[in-house]
Chain A
Amino acid sequence: MCAIAGILNLAAAPAPTEAALRRMLAMVRHRGPDEFGVLLAPQVALGNARLSIVDLTGGQQPITNEDGTLWIVFNGEIFNHVELRAELEARGHRFTTHCDTEVVLHLFEEHGPDCLQRLNGQFAIAIWDQRDRSLFLARDRVGVRPLFYTQAANQFIFASEIKSILAVSPVAAKIDPVALEEIFTYWSPLAPRSAFRGIPEVPPGHYLVAKAGKISVRAYWQLEFAEPAAEKSATEYEEEFHHLLTDATRIRLRADVPVGAYLSGGLDSSLIAALVRQLGVSRLDTFSIAFDDQKFDESQFQREMAAFLGSEHQVVQATHADIGNIFPAVTWHTEVPVLRTAPGPMFLLSKLVRDRGLKVVLSGEGADEFLGGYDIFKEAKIRRFWARQPDSQCRPRLLARLYPDIAALQTAGPAYLKAFFGHGLTATDAADYSHAIRWRNNRRNCRLFAPDFAAAIAAQQNGGSAGPGCPASFQQWGELQRAQYLEISVFLSQYLLAAQGDRVAMAHSVEGRHPFLDVRVMEFCNRLPARFKLRGLTDKFLLRQVGRKYLPEKIWRRRKRPYRAPIHRSFFHATTPDYVRELLSESAVAAAGIFNPVAIRQLVAKLESGRAVGEADDMAVMGVLSTQLVHRQFVQAFRAAEPLAAADPVKVCRLG
């Protein structure tokens, strides 16, 4: 696990330099603290910063093939590398290391871009092909690992993190107004945008080829939810799922370092940890966050589960003030404004893992998306039920029962329930039916934009964001599956695995691994009939059936608890951090030119007054504050780190 970076000349130009690569890699030491490698060729330079996990002594990058015509730098893990290596060796390929990176290279040598179909893992790949002078970049199917690029002054520059690109790009960063509209609506930019103009990502499930001055991007995998004609029995589904999830966990334990597990106290991570135990791992380190605020704390469940597993359980305590204090460090790593609160606690959690000497953890991401765990899936189901009798008084009451923590809904009469959830009620064929209310509510915070900024959005093609695209087969999928597609492509890939996942884990050199995102598990779940995922209003039905075998009843029956910390308490309390006052001041807001200073003044006044503040206002302050931070850190005052020094262990390879 690592960072990659590189520069390719698209037209005749001086060769990219070692100094440039040393600047790029120095920005991402946190992703790869152990050793570095650089390939220098007349037209291209590639670099890698390594977090050594497989083949600790032998796997330094860049790695080349038998005749030096292919060179790879790689960020990620290929969990089926053992099996793939055996096949390749049988076909005559010769290996010089024991690491999975080399397997990718030889598989590419054998199959070209089709090699991606064989990979079961999480990755960002860059391969230089000396034979036809082409650069091949690829990203895993759902975007666990990041990969960005830009084209400037006849150069193609790519990197795991945008900060590496900014360290060498002749073009300074600028916030993309449409990306910000998307962040305020969808909680993240939509693929392929990043927060910055002209710096897109290679989308999940895609590869990019740069050759003869031209760039092309193609998909190699898509989310597909077509249900097979013939259904299997419940027992068959359960056995197959059990087998696949266990094997996905087994191969994610492959490492030359210890592997720990995150334990949230919920069903998903508890099951993964239980499977690890069941696979015969003798010592399991588990890690959790505990909150001072009792309303959000799940320590009791975490402790019980850890005791049940007999794990070495380690906990980091998070106060509201802690979250406020680390927030600037968090945005430096996320490289994007965030409207959700979890990246902060996840940042603290990875620090704990690092402090305890571990580099790898398993976690439960993906179960809610692929097995129908979220409330939004139930909400869509209830709304469709209500839409069949729009004047029903009792059908909308189901929504109040779905959200027992939202006080207003419990007292609201049918008229208000209709007003809040009934918008577009009967437009059940709309592609975004399941998510329209969430996105409409989120979008309210776009009113905070400064008039010029809002005008810049409106001036774009489509008058702003085109919204998430859907594949041709979308309308043929079932209703639950359509909602899942949106949640996976928008929420999971663009936000959860990025800002809340990879970025804040790698901030402390910790690699997360996700058994639920094993390609076989994802494809199995996508073929499941809906009722094995959402049965009535019971979510993750099949997962709970498997969970019964391993977990205490209290855990496998647990209702999902969304993390809804009152974020404003992290920023407006007895000792509000200085940066908060400074960045939300009228002068700072006016200078950045993104938000309306009058609006922000009123928002801040409301938050400081202690009057009741809802989720929308929490998101508003997070959105504004994190945008101001990102603007300060990347646009206004970007500072490159000291380049890699002579003392850093850098392997330099030269070509031609």
Chain B
Amino acid sequence: MNHTKEIRDFIITNFIFGDAAALQDKDDTSFLDSGIIDSTGMLELVMFLEQTYDIKIEPEEMVPENLDSVNKVAQFLSRKLAKTAGAA
């Protein structure tokens, strides 16, 4: 299941404080390069993912490859959920 829209909505409501248009067609925009997220924001994103999707994110998984854009987060989330489903 694709969680891109949920993730995009969270980023917009929680960090950008603006219209949905701000991130439209920008699912590959780097959060860090564009300054959307600071160090505390990274933790907020991790907490949102853990609480919303009932997963546990390890410190070594908190890397830009997994978390630095809407698409990267969506792909990371899919992999995590697939693993959890597989383990269940």
Instruction: Give Cα A389 to B67, complex, Å.
Output: 26
Instruction: Give Cα A407 to B41, complex, Å.
Output: 11
Contact A441 B42 (CB under 8 A): no
**Cβ 8 A contact of B17, one of A409, A411, A419, A448:** A448
Residue on A nearest B67 in the bound complex, by CB: A416
Contacts known (A440-B35, A606-B14); A408 close to B64, Cβ less than 8 A: no
Contact B14 A412 (CB under 8 A): no
Contact A447 B60 (CB under 8 A): no
Q: Most chain-B Cβ atoms within 10 A of its Cβ — which of A416, A596, A600?
A: A416
Instruction: Give Cα A600 to B19, complex, Å.
Output: 11
Contact A598 B18 (CB under 8 A): yes
Contact A603 B62 (CB under 8 A): no
B32 proximal to A (CB < 8 A): yes
Residues of chain A within 8 A (CB-CB) of B24 are none
Contacts known (A419-B32, A447-B16, A605-B13); A411 close to B44, Cβ less than 8 A: no
Contact B44 A611 (CB under 8 A): yes
Q: Most chain-A Cβ atoms within 10 A of its Cβ — which of B13, B40, B41, B65?
A: B40
Contacts known (A407-B43, A416-B62); A596 close to B18, Cβ less than 8 A: yes
Residues of chain B within 8 A (CB-CB) of A444 are 35-36, 38
Contact B14 A441 (CB under 8 A): no
Contacts known (A408-B43, A412-B62, A415-B63); A616 close to B18, Cβ less than 8 A: no
B47 proximal to A (CB < 8 A): yes
Query: What 0/1 readout, one digit per residue, does chain A (582-619) give for beta carbons within 8 Å of chain B?
Result: 00000000000000101110110110000111111000
Contact B38 A612 (CB under 8 A): no
Contact B59 A413 (CB under 8 A): yes
A296 proximal to B (CB < 8 A): no
A221 proximal to B (CB < 8 A): no
Residues of chain B within 8 A (CB-CB) of A441 are 35, 38
Contact B39 A408 (CB under 8 A): yes
CB-CB contacts below 8 Å: B55-78 with A: 59-60, 62-65, 68
Q: How far is the CB of A295 from chain B (nearest CB, A)?
A: 15
Contact B44 A614 (CB under 8 A): yes
CB-CB contacts below 8 Å: A208-254 with B: none
Query: What 0/1 readout, one digit per residue, does chain A (5-47) give for beta carbons within 8 Å of chain B?
Result: 0000000000000000000000000000000000000000000
Residues of chain B within 8 A (CB-CB) of A612 are 40, 43-44, 47
Residue on B nearest A444 in the bound complex, by CB: B35
**Cβ 8 A contact of A408, one of B13, B14, B16, B42:** B42
Instruction: Give Cα A416 to B31, complex, Å.
Output: 12
A420 proximal to B (CB < 8 A): yes
Contact B40 A406 (CB under 8 A): yes
Contact A616 B32 (CB under 8 A): no
Residues of chain A within 8 A (CB-CB) of B38 are 420, 441, 444, 614-616
Instruction: Give Cα A600 to B40, complex, Å.
Output: 20
Contact A606 B39 (CB under 8 A): no
Contact B41 A447 (CB under 8 A): no
Instruction: Give Cα A444 to B22, complex, Å.
Output: 14
Residues of chain A within 8 A (CB-CB) of B41 are 614, 616
**Cβ 8 A contact of A416, one of B13, B44, B63:** B63
Residue on A nearest B30 in the bound complex, by CB: A419
Query: What 0/1 readout, one digit per residue, does chain A (377-421) give for beta carbons within 8 Å of chain B?
Result: 000000000000000000000000000001111011101100110
Instruction: Give Cα A615 to B19, complex, Å.
Output: 23
Residue on A nearest B22 in the bound complex, by CB: A447
Instruction: Give Cα A444 to B33, complex, Å.
Output: 12
Q: How far is the CB of B16 from chain A (nearest CB, A)?
A: 7
Contact B42 A412 (CB under 8 A): yes
Q: How far is the CB of A422 from chain B (nearest CB, A)?
A: 10
Q: How far is the CB of A340 from chain B (nearest CB, A)?
A: 17
Instruction: Give Cα A615 to B43, complex, Å.
Output: 13
Contacts known (A408-B42, A408-B43, A611-B44); A413 close to B17, Cβ less than 8 A: no
Residues of chain B within 8 A (CB-CB) of A615 are 38, 40
Residues of chain B within 8 A (CB-CB) of A443 are 35
Residues of chain A within 8 A (CB-CB) of B68 are 419
Residue on A nearest B31 in the bound complex, by CB: A419
Instruction: Give Cα A412 to B66, complex, Å.
Output: 13
Instruction: Give Cα A416 to B13, complex, Å.
Output: 23
Q: How far is the CB of B28 from chain A (nearest CB, A)?
A: 16
Contacts known (A444-B38, A447-B18); A416 close to B59, Cβ less than 8 A: no
Instruction: Give Cα A409 to B42, complex, Å.
Output: 10
Residues of chain A within 8 A (CB-CB) of B62 are 411-413, 416
Q: How far is the CB of B8 from chain A (nearest CB, A)?
A: 14
Can you add 7 more A-B contacts, CB < 8 Å, to A602-B13, A616-B38? A407-B43, A413-B63, A419-B68, A443-B35, A444-B36, A447-B18, A614-B43
- Measured CB to CB, the residues of B under 8 A from A are 13-14, 16-19, 32, 35-36, 38-44, 47, 59-60, 62-65, 68
